[in-house]
């Protein structure tokens, strides 16, 4: 007589932060006036300082000069959160889960675009493979934000977008931005 086969049990690493913990972390950091004031701001380009995130997460304090942005990207298998500490940021996002690999160009369906304005004190969390761009659309004011990701970013996929067509342009690895 054969024995029943049990499915493997998948457990979460108990030391890994939850999405709620990352969100709490970025909110607390964004409210820390001394931390925010310590970030050097550059009128020409974004500035950043790496922070010690909870539970081994990767965290960054980022300064955004007027008119700057990230371009379309995702954070691969990492989930995360970010909070605006000063100024205002706009997030354009896609409400669609992209394939993890094996494609270069995708035709997007109508209705997948999402837009959020995140003024100082506003925050949001996101799941893995979240495709978005973050922008400081102000013509005169810097913005400052705090970001946290878990697991630490294994890679960032960069995309270009023309209408409904999303194209994978390149993949960045941690050594490209640290």
User: What are the sequence ranges of the domains in the chain?
Assistant: 19-176
**Bridge-based pairing state of the strands 58-64 and 47-52:** antiparallel
User: CA torsion sign, 23 to 28 to 33 to 36?
Assistant: negative
Q: Give 176's pLDDT tier (boundaries 50, 70, 90).
A: confident
Tell whether the model's pLDDT for residue 177 goes beyond 70.
Answer: no
Tell whether the model's pLDDT for residue 97 goes beyond 60.
Answer: yes
User: CA torsion sign, 129 to 131 to 50 to 55?
Assistant: negative
In CATH, the number for domain 19-176 is 2.60.120.10
Measured between alpha carbons, how far is residue 89 from residues 119, 163, 165 in Å?
Answer: 6, 22, 24
Name the residue among 143, 110, 144, 147 with its Cα closest to residue 130. Answer: 147
What pLDDT was estimated at residue 121? 97
127-169 pLDDT, tens per residue? 998 999 999 999 999 999 999 999 999 899 999 999 999 999 9
43-95 pLDDT, tens per residue? 999 999 999 999 999 999 999 999 999 999 999 899 999 999 999 999 999 99
Tell whether the model's pLDDT for residue 35 goes beyond 70.
Answer: yes
What pLDDT was estimated at residue 80? 97
**This prediction's pTM:** 0.87
Q: Tell me the C-alpha distance between 142 and 160, whole Å.
A: 25
What pLDDT was estimated at residue 158? 95
Tell whether the model's pLDDT for residue 174 goes beyond 90.
Answer: no
What pLDDT was estimated at residue 100? 72
Name the residue among 166, 151, 167, 156 with its Cα closest to residue 22. Answer: 151
Pick the residue with more confidence: 105 or 6?
A: 105
DSSP state of 112: -
3-class secondary structure, 105: strand
Within 10 angstroms of residue 165's Cβ, the number of other Cβ atoms is 12
Provide CB contacts within 8 A for 30, sequence distance 6+. Answer: 36, 83, 84, 85, 120, 121, 123, 144, 145, 146
Tell whether the model's pLDDT for residue 102 goes beyond 90.
Answer: no
- Upstream peptide bond of 151 is cis (omega within 30 degrees of 0): yes
3-class secondary structure, 24: helix
Name the residue among 71, 68, 56, 76 with its Cα closest to residue 145. Answer: 68
SS3 content of the chain, % helix, strand, coil (to 5): 15, 40, 45
Q: Give 3's pLDDT tier (boundaries 50, 70, 90).
A: very low
What pLDDT was estimated at residue 178? 61
């Amino acid at each position: 007589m054969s024995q029943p086969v049990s499915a493997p049990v998948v457990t979460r690493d108990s030391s890994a932060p939850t999405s709620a913990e990352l969100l709490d972390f970025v909110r607390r950091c964004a409210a820390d006036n001394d931390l925010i004031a310590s970030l050097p701001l550059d009128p020409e380009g974004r500035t950043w300082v790496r922070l010690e995130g909870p539970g081994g997460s990767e965290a960054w304090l980022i300064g955004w000069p007027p008119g700057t942005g990230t371009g379309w990207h995702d954070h691969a298998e990492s989930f995360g959160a970010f909070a605006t500490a000063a100024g205002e940021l706009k997030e354009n996002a896609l409400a669609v889960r992209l394939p993890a690999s094996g494609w270069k160009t995708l035709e997007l369906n109508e209705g997948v675009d999402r837009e959020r304005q995140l003024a100082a004190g506003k925050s949001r969390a996101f799941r893995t493979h979240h495709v978005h761009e973050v922008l400081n659309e102000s013509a005169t004011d810097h913005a400052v934000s705090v970001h946290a990701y878990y697991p630490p970013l294994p890679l960032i996929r960069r995309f270009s977008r023309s209408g409904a067509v999303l194209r994978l342009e390149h993949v960045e690895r941690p050594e490209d931005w640290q």
